[in-house]
Amino acid sequence: MRRVALTLRADAVEEVLDVLMPLIPQGVYERVLDPQRTEVAFSGDGLPAAAELEAIAGDALLGRDEEEVADSREERRRRAGRTWTVAGRLRVRSPDDPPSGDGVRDIVIEPAPGAFGTGAHPTTRGCLELLLELQPGGGLADLGCGSGVVAIAAAQLGWEPVYALDFDERSVGATERNAQRNGVAVRAVLADLREIPAPPAHSLVANIPLDVHERIAGSLSPASARVIVSGITASQEPAATAAYGRAGLALRGRRVGGGWATLWLERP
């Protein structure tokens, strides 16, 4: 199968896609190479000829590569990359992607079915952005840990001990594997937070639905002085803030993106 990768000027990608998308109905794979360059790749039979692609891209075209590749979804996904940079200080990537090499903190997450937390979702990014702003110290529990990315980041940044809880066995297994891969100590625990209270860690990071937040807030330990609340939509922010407010926590910071809200609350 023929695969074409166009390197385009980042500021002209959308104009090129206006013409390209009808020709590539199966879709294209975009990858930011740096702030000035974006790769747009696609594969299949019957792709436009080189001359046509050059005419479409015009002076936005900085480079073009072509090769024969296997007709494999896994291969196309691998080549698309799974690297997400958070606040310019932390990079979440898959084992297939190259390390940053630029001094940015690196977290390697093995993609796993059902284990939420690749670094792509606004709620994960909100948790990581707020975590980067806080002064590390004391114990931390990552509630609804998914892939374990938040717990691993916390352990790297200096929280100790770090616990990671999830009601999904696959997530607990993924967290254990990813913590080991990143060389940090995270204790992953299978637990349903609809059934038990949150552990009494000094800091909690909870990327979970609103109803679970309300349960956690209702039985919050006095030892838990700081909570990062995520997994809620922007419209649910007042309800979440009120629930933790009744537990004695006040809003200190927030991130909103893609319709999702992530909140930082602390005891005064």
Partner 1 sequence: MTPALLDPRPAAAAGAPHGQLASAMTGGALRLSCHKLIEDAARATILLVPGLLRLDVRPLEDSLQVFARALHPVPPRWEIIDGTADEAATDEPYRLEWRVDAPLEPHPIRGRVTVTMTVDFDQGAAHFVAHALFREILA
Residues binding partner 1 (CB under 8 A): 14, 17-18, 21-23, 25-30, 73-74, 76-77, 80, 82, 111, 113-114, 116-118, 120-122, 124, 146, 209-210, 231-233, 235-236, 259-260
- Distance (Å, whole) CA 131 – CA 113: 25
Residue whose CB is less far from partner 1, 139 or 146: 146
The CB-of-225 to partner 1 minimum distance in angstroms stands at 27
Strands of the sheet with 187-190, listed across from one edge: 187-190, 162-166, 140-143, 203-207, 226-233, 260-266, 250-257
Which C-beta is closer to partner 1: that of 26 or that of 135?
26
CB of 73 or CB of 98, closer to partner 1: 73
Long-range Cβ contacts of 207-210 (<8 Å, 24+ apart): 207/116, 207/117, 207/123, 207/124, 207/127, 207/143, 207/144, 207/146, 207/150, 207/231, 208/143, 208/144, 210/236, 210/239, 210/240
Q: How far apart are CA 215 and CA 198, in angstroms?
A: 9
Minimum CB distance to partner 1 smaller for 190 or for 250: 190
Cβ atoms within 10 Å, residue 116: 20
CB of 79 to partner 1, least distance (A): 9
Residues facing 9 on adjacent strands: 37
Query: Least distance from C-beta 267 to partner 1, angstroms?
Result: 27
In which region does residue 259 sit, left (phi positive, over 0), alpha (psi from -120 to 50) or beta (all else)?
left
Please identify, using beta-carbon distances, which residue of 27 and 58 lies nearer to partner 1.
27
From the CB of 131, what's the least distance to partner 1, in Å? 18
Nearer to partner 1, 17 or 33 (CB): 17
CB atoms within 10 A of CB 143: 28
Q: Which of 155, 55, 171 is nearest to 163 (CA)?
A: 155
Give the C-alpha separation, 214 to 193, whole Å: 11
CB of 62 to partner 1, least distance (A): 19
CB of 231 to partner 1, least distance (A): 7
Least distance in Å: CB of 73 to partner 1?
5
Closer of 219 and 235 to partner 1 (Cβ): 235
Q: Which is nearest to 65 in space by CA: 80, 53, 78, 81?
A: 53
